[in-house]
Amino acid sequence: MANDELIFYVKLHVRPERVEDWKREFHAIAQAMSREPEFIACYAHQDAGDPNQFTLYERWAEPDVESFLRNQMKPYRMEYDARIEPMLQRPREPQVLLPLGEWHRARG
């Protein structure tokens, strides 16, 4: 992992009656994000014990949050934010993480 990667870990608590709506919105924004040159990856998870809780792990080739906001707060992202706000039980819980390393299963 490069030192100029920015990683977001975001918890979302979705209203039970809006889970499928949120999933559709998220899939659309993930497709849009994946076309950005600074995008590296996004992993989305649904909590096994709470089907209304989701976690996003986003990796971006951005040196800091300020650069990310300047480069990535495009109209499609702001529209997504506005559309999902009423779907959430409470505000998103974002964290910025610093990469320390990455390991995968050893071969051979």
Contact by Cβ (8 Å): 15, 89:
yes
Q: How far, in Å, CA of 33 to CA of 60, rounded?
A: 10
The single residue listed with the structure tokens 């792990």 is: 57
Contact by Cβ (8 Å): 71, 62:
yes
Domain ranges of the chain: 6-97
Listed in order, strand segments (DSSP E) in 1-52 are 6-13, 39-46
Give the architecture-level CATH label for domain 6-97.
Answer: 2-Layer Sandwich (3.30)
Which pLDDT value is given to residue 2? 53
Which pLDDT value is given to residue 43? 98
Which pLDDT value is given to residue 42? 98
Q: In what order do the strands lie in the sheet with 39-46?
A: 39-46, 53-60, 6-13, 93-97
Which pLDDT value is given to residue 7? 96
> Which residues of the chain fall below pLDDT 50?
none
Which pLDDT value is given to residue 108? 77
Which pLDDT value is given to residue 46? 98
Which pLDDT value is given to residue 44? 98
Which pLDDT value is given to residue 99? 84
